[in-house]
Structure 1
């Protein structure tokens, strides 16, 4: 597991870590890819969509399963700053439901972890609604 919000890893170093995991027959990598603190601790550092696709291809070649974590509704400060909406608001949920299929297509993996930790829920239906967007992935 790696959390880019607490320790950003440049792409080449991340690939080197994956090679080591593969060498020792560790076949799963949980990537915690979203966090409100990432822009504070590592300003300007992020993985682009192109890099994400490159990493997915690399992971597959190494026979390491990537489980990307798009933490919601916790760690969603960046979402709020970008959209002006809380993820648990009615319109926030509409936006997240539009984003999830894009995330699923981008990573092209059998599982996506949606987090749901470190948060106070004000909408008990948030998790069931998000899980219903792409059944079988969570």
Structure 2
């Protein structure tokens, strides 16, 4: 496998978006079709949730399986710099847990949607509907 130059790697990493990603849009579309109205990227909330439904006090995080360390087949540890990646993903997991706890202590319901769940949109829509209809 050819190693990328630091400049090329930096350019590739700069192309990774943090907002309005395809997975995020794939979650927003069914929510909108179901009649839910929401806000995006509320910076005044811990963790800046991707989707916020103030009426339901619900915050939705749309997480990439690799970056946030989901235990699924999409999460494959790179063969190079494994120590770096293992540490980075562990830090991301701890941060995510801390932010969800902070939101919970403020009275918010948190929902995490994993990238791998987007392959079954009907199941995802049912799950969101169920979670948002709970008191």
The TM-score bracket by the shorter chain reads 0.3 to 0.5
Larger Rg: 2
TM-score, normalised to structure 1's length? 0.33
